[in-house]
Amino acid sequence: MVVIPFPRRFTLVSAFPLLFPSFPSFHPSSTVPVLTFFFLRFARHHARDSEEPNGLEFH
């Protein structure tokens, strides 16, 4: 995965449509909560394992 040196939330939100180009074609009620759950889990796990140079912490 390519890491872009931007604020992590901005990068994740901006990359979401790129990672799931056919996202609107999925069924929203079942897909959105699952994708959001794993997406946030990945973001928190990645942020916890890496040192942020600007001192931001994600809990």
pLDDT at 54: 57
Check pLDDT > 60 for residue 59. no
What's the confidence (pLDDT) of residue 23?
53
pLDDT (tens digit per residue) in 6-57: 555 555 555 555 555 555 555 555 666 777 777 787 777 655 555 555 555 5
Q: Pinpoint the alpha helices (H) of the chain.
A: 8-19, 28-49
Residue of 35, 19, 37 lying closest to 27 (CA atoms): 35
Q: Identify the pLDDT of residue 44.
A: 72
Position 42 scores a pLDDT of 76
